[in-house]
Structure 1
Amino acid sequence: MELWPWLTAALLVLFVQLSPTVNFYAKVALYCALCFSASTLAVAVCLLRHGGRTVENMSIISWFVRSFKYAYGLRFEMKGRQKLEVNHPCVIISNHQSILDMMGLMEALPKRCVQIAKRELLFLGPVGLIMYLGGVFFINRQRSSTAMTVMAKVGERMVQENLKVWIYPEGTRNDNGDLLPFKKGAFYLAIQAQVPIIPVVYSSFSSFYDTRMRRFTSGTVQVEVLDAIPTRGLTVADVPKLMDTCHQAMRTTFLHMSKIPQENGATAGPGTLPAQ
């Protein structure tokens, strides 16, 4: 019996276990493979179940993505989930840290909720196709006029179809231990549609996922849904204040949940507003 294949496999497993860097890249590669394979299966299920593009497909997509956490030993502990289960349109905003955010999003995803994503994702094979089938709105961020047109249509549709829209207001992934300044799109959308904003905050992933340290282990993510912030009666002139209110509330919660020290050495806690 040929022993070399088995010996090679055993050495490879041992090497992965001993090398954090190899372990990191192996887990990232597995995550990408899971995304593509699950998307392919989900496409078939969505087409068989609903026949095409509809927000109802998001429950199917959510089921597939939520299963990923078992492969990585991740847990999501959520506080305030009931605040998302409202029967009216709203804009949901959350912090954006890494490629793992999709798992966190699907853990919290309420009914009739779609996302706004960059247009480039539409061309990622089965991943782009399943996002399209789930009703995701794609925006070309390189063309502001086109993006504004899409956002205007999103505002109309979310009211007409009773949709919740999930947006990452930082605009890009950020794992620096703080929140980036917010972009205005989500707040213009909420005011245009006169719907409330519901902030959702995820604690820092850095204890188990860190691209700079090549760390990818098991861990627990704290998730907190904050109180809805109304926009009824607000106008475009109120966007800066609304944006600042949301940013401060989310940043305070993020630093407290993640136990990240402030500049003065104290840890942010309830009622403590970190310096901007």
Structure 2
Amino acid sequence: MELGWLLWGAAVLLLLHFLMELSPAVNFALRIGFYCLLCVLASALTAPVCLLVNGGRTVKNMRIIKNVVKTFKYFFGLKFEVKGLENFEVEGPAIIVSNHQSILDMMGLMEVLPDNCAQVAKKELMYTGTVGLIIYLGGVIFINRKSTSSAKIVMAEVAKTMAAENVKVWVYPEGTRNCTGDFLPFKKGAFHLAIQAQVPVIPVVYSSFTAFYNPKKKLFTSGKIKVEVLPPIETKGLTADDVSDLTDRCFHTMRETLFKLSGRPKEAKDSS
């Protein structure tokens, strides 16, 4: 009986391997399914550790979560090349802004996440089972993207928390995932927050995933991701009147860096 189960298991694995080689769609679905399963299982196993070590919801749990998530890249054949980590070494709080490409961003985030840094995320993520539990325990700040007034209240509280607890805050200024190889226009919330709190903005740019990950083409293979942490942009002395200029400055600086890291030719940039 045991031999029969082993044979059946081997046959299923061989069939899956054959289908993955034969069909990009099957390969994509299986890899995404495995990634989601890995997130659920890792969250379920890590949550009790966070509770035992730190006693509940705190940004300190991100160090534990980070060490777990950093192992995910080995399952998917992803390599990270990181530059500029020293730019995180600013005194006091800061706003960190980065591009947001896909559900795989969590791996990139944890690869460089500095200590004592909270992320801003949509409120819906709080209700995603064990994944929602672990990001809640990690001190993630949830906002309601459908309610502008609610989001503004939360961000005002974030400004107070940054000053009181000396934490950095990670924000995706595009506001949603974007796997086009370019940037969406930046929303101004993060830059309002930086000026309100008079803290520097630290841009972080990840190279485009499109060469190895593209949901529209059902593409998901191994690949290399370049990450660059850019020098902090000071906001001391700036006022609400400077928000648009600060937003544009970050957008253009980060966009140029994205093209450089992704090896996108100059003529492609100029025509977009």
What band does the TM-score fall into relative to the shorter chain? over 0.9
Q: Does 2:233 correspond to 1:232?
A: no
The letter of the residue matching 1:76 is F
SS in 2 for 1:52: coil
Tell me by how many angstroms 1:252 deviates.
0.5
Indicate conservation of the 8 Å contact 1:74/1:218, yes or no. yes
CA 1:232–1:11: 2 relative to 1, 3 Å: same
Select which of 250, 254, 259 maps to 1:250. Answer: 254
Q: For 1:69 and 1:7, locate their aligned partners in 2 and report how far apart those are by CA, in whole Å.
A: 27
Q: For 2:228 and 2:90, locate their aligned partners in 1 and report how far apart those are by CA, in whole Å.
A: 16
Select which of 177, 200, 203 maps to 1:199. Answer: 203
Tell me by how many angstroms 1:9 deviates.
3.4
Partner of 1:76: 80
Indicate conservation of the 8 Å contact 2:181/2:209, yes or no. no
Q: For 1:145 and 1:216, locate their aligned partners in 2 and report how far apart those are by CA, in whole Å.
A: 38
Q: For 1:249 and 1:165, locate their aligned partners in 2 and report how far apart those are by CA, in whole Å.
A: 20
The letter of the residue matching 1:34 is L
SS in 2 for 1:55: coil
Q: For 1:19 and 1:111, locate their aligned partners in 2 and report how far apart those are by CA, in whole Å.
A: 41
Q: For 1:172 and 1:106, locate their aligned partners in 2 and report how far apart those are by CA, in whole Å.
A: 18
SS in 2 for 1:78: strand
Partner of 1:35: 39
Length-normalised TM-score, structure 2: 0.95
Q: Does 2:99 correspond to 1:112?
A: no
Q: For 2:173 and 2:162, locate their aligned partners in 1 and report how far apart those are by CA, in whole Å.
A: 18
Select which of 85, 90, 111 maps to 2:89. Answer: 85
Indicate conservation of the 8 Å contact 2:203/2:231, yes or no. yes
Q: Does 2:111 correspond to 1:103?
A: no
Tell me by how many angstroms 1:75 deviates.
0.7
Partner of 1:172: 176
SS in 1 for 2:46: helix
Q: For 1:211 and 1:63, locate their aligned partners in 2 and report how far apart those are by CA, in whole Å.
A: 27
SS in 1 for 2:217: coil
1:73-113 deviation line (CA, Å, top 9, x unaligned): 10110010111133310000000111111100000100100
Q: Give the alignment of 1:104-143 within 5 angstroms.
A: 104-143=108-147
SS in 1 for 2:236: coil
- RMSD in angstroms over aligned alpha carbons? 1.4
Tell me by how many angstroms 1:15 deviates.
1.6
SS in 2 for 1:83: helix
Tell me by how many angstroms 1:236 deviates.
0.8
The letter of the residue matching 2:33 is A
The letter of the residue matching 2:120 is I
SS in 1 for 2:173: coil
Indicate conservation of the 8 Å contact 1:85/1:111, yes or no. no
The letter of the residue matching 1:66 is K
Q: For 1:97 and 1:196, locate their aligned partners in 2 and report how far apart those are by CA, in whole Å.
A: 24
Q: Where in structure 1 do 4 or more consecutive aligned residues deviate above 6 Å?
A: none
> What are the ranges of 5 or more consecutive residues in structure 1 without an aligned counterpart?
269-273
Q: How many residues align?
A: 268
Q: For 2:166 and 2:10, locate their aligned partners in 1 and report how far apart those are by CA, in whole Å.
A: 56
> Would you tell me which structure has more helix in proportion to its own residues?
2
Length-normalised TM-score, structure 1: 0.93
CA 1:162–1:9: 2 relative to 1, 3 Å: same
Identity %: 56
> What are the ranges of 5 or more consecutive residues in structure 2 without an aligned counterpart?
none
The letter of the residue matching 1:239 is V
